[in-house]
Structure 1
Amino acid sequence: MTDKKFAGRYTTDNQDDLVVFLIGMRVNKRFALHKWLPVFFAMPGMIRELYMNKDKLGFLSMESYFGLRTTVMIQYWRSTEDLIAYARSEKHMAAWKNFNQKIGSNPSVGIYHETYKVKAGDYESIYGNMSPYGLSKALNVIPVEAHRASAKQRLGKNAAKTTSI
């Protein structure tokens, strides 16, 4: 992890399609540790694999959040094809098989994912005096230009019906 901070305002280049993938789990029965801990601990190995093989797998970056009962990872991928290929990988399939064998429909722990395909030009980001975070870890960082100072301008023609922020 880096402590490098970009002074001032910057954004990310939105010239490429990307996939935003949310994945997480919810502890439904706190004292059923034997059910939800294996689910929780299945993810770090896959995340290590993704970071070690980013270029090959199409994984761009991610952020994690841990709540009292629910976790979520926001992952950025180059394409749905890359994401689906990883879902069919040996490491992921082993974790999925293990989950189904040990948890199945047991209500102690829940899992979820959501996938969003985002077209080039249909997303924007803004950062002020921040370390690389979110999309700025996944995509090229560029300064916010004076003539592109609003969200509407950064989104271009695709933001015709939005108001500036």
Structure 2
Amino acid sequence: MSGPVLRERLTARLDGDYVVFLIGMRINKPWLVHKWWPVVSAMPRMQRELQSQPDSGLLHAETWFSRTLIQVQYWRSMEQLMAYAKNREAQHLPAWAAFNKAIGTDGSVGIWHETYAVRPGSSESVYVNMPAFGLGRAGELVPVKGRLASAAQRMAAGK
């Protein structure tokens, strides 16, 4: 879901700590559709589940599709992300078990994730001629002016 292009210079504001979670897959053997399609189709199910639960801690997610798929997720806390990952009644654990059973380390499909705990004053952002995007959708977009005019000032303002 996109939106109108916002022509002004904006930055994202998200008060307090938050988590950036990058997750994705790489299709190593495109002809083995039966291997990679279940992995591709698992993510939308998890996404719908999380979006239907506002208290899950997921703030926003953006997804890109190519040979390597990537989703960037913004979470309110590491505890909420880990609670979802370990929840036996959620979509994640069955998808992970199915991946390990069908693919494991056979090389047909790669999966990966990276997790970053972000503290106030340790990130900054700028958006120009963009619809609301990324951290700007997880938090609030504010004009880049005054004490937010430069990257250094935005970093200092968050401390």
TM-score, normalised to structure 1, is: 0.87
Superposed CA deviations along residues 94-113 of structure 1, whole A, max 9, x for unmatched, are 11111111112221111100
The correspondence of residues 112-151 of structure 1 with structure 2, limited to 5 A, is 112-151=112-151
Alignment partner of 1:9 is 2:12: no
Equivalent residue for 2:55?
56
Classify 1:88/1:48 alpha carbon distance in 2 versus 1 (closer, same or farther; 3 Å). same
**What amino acid sits opposite 2:129 in the alignment?**
N
Q: Which runs of 5+ in 1 are unaligned?
A: 160-165
Displacement of 1:9: 1.3
**What amino acid sits opposite 1:138 in the alignment?**
A
**What amino acid sits opposite 1:88 in the alignment?**
K
Equivalent residue for 2:65?
66
The percent identity for this pair of structures is 47
Alignment partner of 1:36 is 2:71: no
- Count of residues paired in the alignment: 157
Equivalent residue for 2:27?
27
Report the Cα distance in structure 2 between the residues aligned to 1:121 and 1:101, rounded to whole angstroms. 42
Equivalent residue for 1:162?
none
**What amino acid sits opposite 1:31 in the alignment?**
W
Displacement of 1:157: 7.1
Do the aligned partners of 2:120 and 2:158 also contact (CA within 8 Å) in 1? no
Displacement of 1:38: 0.8
The correspondence of residues 153-164 of structure 1 with structure 2, limited to 5 A, is 153-156=153-156
What is the root-mean-square deviation in Å for CA atoms of aligned residues? 1.8
Do the aligned partners of 1:14 and 1:124 also contact (CA within 8 Å) in 2? no
